[in-house]
Amino acid sequence: MINAIEPVGDTPKLGTAPMNITLCVCCGHLMMIEHDLTLREPTTDELRKLAKHPGVVAEMRSSIN
């Protein structure tokens, strides 16, 4: 099962897909969604940006509890 986080407001634009982050609700693993709907691991720079985003952090915390 996956949960997508849609960019809102001042959310960093990390890719070209409308929803570019997916989070596994079982283990909390983040993947990036590409424009062609393939998944890839986030880059180090993307992980740093995601770690500072309160919405992403809240979703990760709720998925592993």
How far apart are the C-alpha atoms of 35 and 39, rounded to whole Å?
9
pTM above 0.75, yes or no: no
> Which residues, in sequence order, are bridge partners of residue 32?
21, 40
Q: What pLDDT, on the 0 to 100 scale, is given for residue 1? A: 38
Model pLDDT, residue 2: 47
pLDDT tens-place values along the chain, 65 residues long:
345 555 556 655 555 445 588 888 777 788 998 877 789 999 999 889 888 888 888 877 776 65
pLDDT confidence of residue 42? 92
- Looking at residue 44, what is its pLDDT? 93
Asked if 52 and 41 count as a contact pair (C-beta separation under 8 A), the reply is: no
Q: CA-to-CA distance for 4 and 12, rounded, in angstroms?
A: 15
